[in-house]
Amino acid sequence: MRTISESRCFGGVQGVHAHASAATGTEMTFGLYLPPAAAEGQRVPLLWFLSGLTCTHENAMVKAGLQAHAAAAGLAVVFPDTSPRGPGVADDPAFDLGQGAGFYVNAARDPWAPHFRMWDYVADELPRVLAANFPVDEERQAVTGHSMGGHGALTLAMRLPGRFRSASAFAPIANPTASDWGRRQFAAYLGPDEAAWARHDASLLMAETGFSGEVLIDQGASDQFLPLLRPEALAAAMAERRQPGAFRMQAGYDHSYFFVASFAADHVAFHAERLAA
């Protein structure tokens, strides 16, 4: 692993790091915010923030405003990249497939299969890198994300029971098997078998198993991508299962990072309370 940069931030340190990834066969870059408590020798709880389409590790790190809230709560925050990158990595002219659009799945079809193994990277490899190199507490983890990253956060939380104490999402792609933000990508990455797609659909997983902890979902009521996100499917599944948590429609908010930043404090406080329990 190599450190690209470290910057003082709200009494802690915002770092950017890179490492050779066995999962993707590329170098992967991630951001990691460590709060002041980490510098004092404490092992701190870890909040994952998974970003959306077109994003790198940098977008949420710079725009979401999580560091001030994380510093006050004593949480580390990791910002993984959204896909493998590099000259030998397959890509597509569309913004919603290929580099910047890994969808947090393991691709099974060419040309994507050699590098697009983002499920393995986020679920297995990056956690080991963090635990080996930084003072984070593996027993206290939570996960959140925006848009495609909200999809990733919810599916990871429900498919890895016991890993995360809490889960939240900002405007998640909630029902990708029934959306053009999902069907096209799953067909390309996973193939035509829709049974394989279902394992990456938060609404279907919510109906089948739910999440053992509490969830918090914020969705902008003026989001320009509502037909692609299909929040009503997730809200219905949560209600049917009586999933502990809350689904909040926020009047006037769109899909941007201004929306994410507006409710970042709520999400950090939600996770901090459960990570402290």
What local confidence, expressed as pLDDT, does residue 40 receive?
Answer: 84
- Whole-number Å distance between alpha carbons of 202 and 143: 14
Residue 168, beta-bridge partner list: 216
Q: Determine which helix (DSSP H) or strand (DSSP E) holds 206, and give its type and residue range.
A: helix 202-208
What local confidence, expressed as pLDDT, does residue 39 receive?
Answer: 84
Other residues' Cβ atoms within 10 Å of the Cβ of residue 240: 11
Spatial CA neighbour of 247 closest among 197, 206, 200, 198: 206
How far lies 256's CA from each of 57, 108, 116, 137, in Å? 16, 31, 26, 31
What local confidence, expressed as pLDDT, does residue 253 receive?
Answer: 98
Show which residues are catalytic.
147, 223, 255
What local confidence, expressed as pLDDT, does residue 19 receive?
Answer: 98
- Whole-number Å distance between alpha carbons of 186 and 190: 5
Task: Please answer whether residues 84 and 21 qualify as being in contact, where contact means their C-beta atoms are separated by less than 8 angstroms.
Answer: yes
Please report, in tens digits, the pLDDT of each residue of the chain (277 residues total). Answer: 999 999 999 999 999 999 999 999 999 999 999 999 998 889 999 999 999 999 999 999 999 999 999 999 999 999 999 999 999 999 999 999 999 999 999 999 999 999 999 999 999 999 999 999 999 999 999 999 999 999 999 999 999 999 999 999 999 999 999 999 999 999 999 999 999 999 999 999 999 999 999 999 999 999 999 999 999 999 999 999 999 999 999 999 999 999 999 999 999 999 999 999 8
What local confidence, expressed as pLDDT, does residue 2 receive?
Answer: 97
What local confidence, expressed as pLDDT, does residue 65 receive?
Answer: 97
Contacts with 6 (C-beta within 8 Å, 6 or more apart), sequence order? 13, 14, 15, 16
Domain ranges (residues) in the chain: 15-276
From 3.40.50.1820, 3.40.1280.10, 3.40.50.620, 3.40.640.10, which CATH number describes the 15-276 domain? 3.40.50.1820
What local confidence, expressed as pLDDT, does residue 133 receive?
Answer: 97
Spatial CA neighbour of 264 closest among 126, 61, 101, 38: 61
What local confidence, expressed as pLDDT, does residue 119 receive?
Answer: 98
Task: Please answer whether residues 99 and 116 qualify as being in contact, where contact means their C-beta atoms are separated by less than 8 angstroms.
Answer: no
Global pTM value: 0.97
